[in-house]
Amino acid sequence: FATLLPVLLLYILALGILFGVRPHHEFLQALPQVVEVFVLAALPGLLFVGAFSIACPAFIWPPLYQFLFIGYWFWGNLLSPSFRVPTLSVTILTPIGSYIYAGIFRSDTLVVSAKEASALQGSESILLLLGLAVLAIVSVQGYLNLQRRRQ
């Protein structure tokens, strides 16, 4: 919920601005698309990050995880390939949804153009993010159950 709330509030704010500057019929036409973009592009990454934010502190010291999380966010999402540092930002694993936006919605992003991404890659990104989120939660649950049995 902590990862979802800020993004959800930004989407609601954007909807409020859209409602204020566009005729109401245009707003109503855009509303399903905004919901679709949120569900397909933002939600998988948020669930991925949220799952790892629940799972990782079970294994490492929480302040260290928080520090690493912030570094990961910039390295894995916003670092341009022009820095010549290996990064997830140009892969389907980036939680910011670059391949989802570029592949499915045909919209250029900071690191991936719509010409470079296919709808299949966008779909693979969604499935990979959701699958790894489930794996993280299942793994930490198994680890915690094992810890309880040992006590």
User: Tens digit of pLDDT for each residue in 39-58?
Assistant: 998 899 999 989 999 999 99
- DSSP string covering 15-65, please? HHHHHHHS-HHHHHHHHHHHHHHIIIIIHHHHHHHHHHHHHGGGTS-HHHH
3-class DSSP state for residue 147?
helix
Give yes or no for a contact between 112 and 97, defined as CB atoms under 8 angstroms apart. no
User: Tens digit of pLDDT for each residue in 123-151?
Assistant: 999 999 999 999 999 999 999 999 999 98
Which whole number is the average pLDDT over 81-105? 83
Q: pTM of this prediction?
A: 0.83
Distance between CA 76 and CA 92 in Å, rounded? 11
Give yes or no for a contact between 71 and 103, defined as CB atoms under 8 angstroms apart. no
